[in-house]
Amino acid sequence: MSSAIGVIGLLLAIACLIVLSYKGINAFVASMIASIIVIVTNMLPSGESFWAPFTGSYASSMMSFVGSYFLLFGLAAAYGEFMKVSGSAESVAATLFKLFGVRWAPLACLLVTLLMAMGGISAFVIVFAVYPVAAPLFRKANITKELMPGIFLCASVTLCLCLPGNPTSTNALLTREQYGLGVNAYSAPVMGIIACIVGVVLAGVYITWQAKRQTARGNGYVVSGTDSLEEADKNLPPFWSSILPLVVVIVMMFCLKGIMGTVDCINTSLCVAMILVVLFNPKVFFGSQKVSSVVKTFTNGFWSSFTALFLTAGVMGFAGVVQAAPGFQYFVDFANSLSTTFNPYISASVAVNVVAGITGTALGGLQIFADTLLPNYINLGINPEAFHRLLTIACCGLDTLPHCATFITMCSVCGVTVKGSYKHVFPMTVVMPILLTILCICLISVGII
């Protein structure tokens, strides 16, 4: 009886978090309310005190995330602020607008985001780097910002994970020797490239159609958050000096990845890029006609990241409480039972999605799958390379429900509501990964790997 109450409590807590987030309730507050439901239905019946999970699982998961990402969030936001204040972001956007035109502006944003993600920028922080470029691009085309979170998530997670060699933690997870698959980050290249191409086409068609449709309905660009109104006579820096910091971030990520850790690579690249922005635009930051000082620009940018950081950390705290709840083991056992019931590729895809959906994170879902369920599949005659690429794509399906921490971060940075943007996020980051997973299973069945 107690186990049934625990399972129901987990489902109610996740539903509560989703509903509250969808209705615009602060994500930090919503995560605490949802955690209370888990505690009352799971921890209290097992004899644990009410406050222990808050000071234990919730606090440790939240602070672990803050400790790991506060510098990454801050430097990424500061870099975005330098790009915005210097006019570099708008210069890049103006050039892309001329190149792609009004109709293809969202596609330009999708491709730029994918390029940045393949350069090694984490999905958690990529929005800080791409948003300053996307905002003026969408403003010129009068396209609603509600499309942005879907575009950023689709490109930096779904499409990026399809490509062999992508520099994400998710792609690297199953390559660890401890899991025994014997694969590397470039596994199943043909299948992955096909899936990415199909994904780009599907995403391109959707965002182009929706951009035109929403504008025709009168739902165009709305200035919000840190946006600035466009100045007609603004003297923008040249394109080459504006795009170079973006290129440097990508190139340095590739060059440094064998020398230092991923987070250190990103931090170093962002610092060098900020220095370049200052050097290329001295009149903006120095002299009698300066727009803003270097210290003020850095401070404004760094500080602006804290809201998104703690909103996300609250959701990660909730995920910690969920994983510590006795009822969570039921979902793990359910996923485990699928391995002996269905085709291993199908059952693994379903299992990893179930766990990712409960925790609200693709990496967390894949990690739990690898630690608890993967041994069951090793001896089932699977193709290791195909299995690796399939699970890397499959895990980013149900993870992007409205309680997804990365999604909440992107909504905060873009200045849009969860309700307004999720209608685009769902088809691009939930439906599409599931369709691409089905495509990959079909490709595996005919030997295209």
Q: What is the pLDDT of residue 340?
A: 66
CA dist 359 and 323 (Å) reads 7
Q: Which of 246, 20, 287 has its CA nearest to residue 120?
A: 246
Q: Tell which phi-psi region holds residue 64, choosing left (phi > 0), alpha (psi between -120 and 50) or beta.
A: alpha
Q: What is the pTM of this model?
A: 0.84
CA dist 198 and 68 (Å) reads 34
- The CA–CA distances, whole Å, from 34 to 9, 293, 315 equal 9, 43, 10
CB-based burial label for 71 (10 Å; 0-12, 13-18, 19+):
middle
Cα torsion 59, 62, 67, 73 to 10°: value is -150
CB-based burial label for 290 (10 Å; 0-12, 13-18, 19+):
middle
CB-based burial label for 115 (10 Å; 0-12, 13-18, 19+):
middle
pLDDT in tens, 363-394: 778 888 888 788 888 878 889 999 999 999 99
Report whether 421 contacts 414 (CB < 8 A).
yes
User: Pick the residue with more confidence: 163 or 340?
Assistant: 163
Report whether 413 contacts 156 (CB < 8 A).
no
Interhelix angle for 328-337 vs 294-324, to 10°?
Answer: 70
Report whether 184 contacts 387 (CB < 8 A).
no
Is residue 322 over pLDDT 90? Answer: no
Report whether 107 contacts 58 (CB < 8 A).
no
CA dist 170 and 174 (Å) reads 8
Angle at 56 between CA 55 and CA 59, to 5 degrees: 65
User: Pick the residue with more confidence: 329 or 348?
Assistant: 348
Which range, of 48-52, 134-138, 332-336, 375-379, averages the lowest pLDDT?
Answer: 332-336
Q: Which of 430, 435, 434, 414 has its CA nearest to residue 147?
A: 414
- The CA–CA distances, whole Å, from 190 to 29, 195, 196, 202, 386 equal 44, 9, 10, 18, 10
Is residue 231 over pLDDT 60? Answer: no
Report whether 250 contacts 114 (CB < 8 A).
no
Q: Is the dihedral angle over the CA atoms 237, 240, 243, 246 positive or is it negative?
A: negative
Residue 229 has phi, psi (to 5 degrees) of -70, 145
Q: Which of 393, 394, 382 has its CA nearest to residue 349?
A: 394
Greatest mean pLDDT range, 86-100, 141-155, 313-327: 141-155
Q: What is the pLDDT of residue 232?
A: 45
Confidence of residue 339 (pLDDT cuts 50, 70, 90): low
Q: What is the pLDDT of residue 270?
A: 86
CA dist 353 and 350 (Å) reads 5
Report whether 403 contacts 358 (CB < 8 A).
no
Is residue 282 over pLDDT 50? Answer: yes
Confidence of residue 262 (pLDDT cuts 50, 70, 90): low
Percent of the chain at pLDDT > 90 equals: 29
Alpha helices in 101-141 (DSSP H): 105-118, 123-141
CB-based burial label for 295 (10 Å; 0-12, 13-18, 19+):
exposed
Q: Which of 137, 135, 156 has its CA nearest to residue 96?
A: 137
Q: Which of 169, 171, 170, 132 has its CA nearest to residue 152?
A: 132
For 26, the token pair is 């602060």
pLDDT in tens, 147-206: 999 999 999 999 999 998 887 778 888 888 888 888 888 889 999 999 999 999 999 999
Is residue 324 over pLDDT 80? Answer: yes
Q: Give Cβ neighbours of residue 127 (< 8 Å, ≥ 6 apart).
A: 149, 152, 409, 410, 413, 414
Containing domain of residue 210, as a range? 2-445
Is residue 424 over pLDDT 90? Answer: yes
Based on the structure, what is the number of domains in the chain? 1
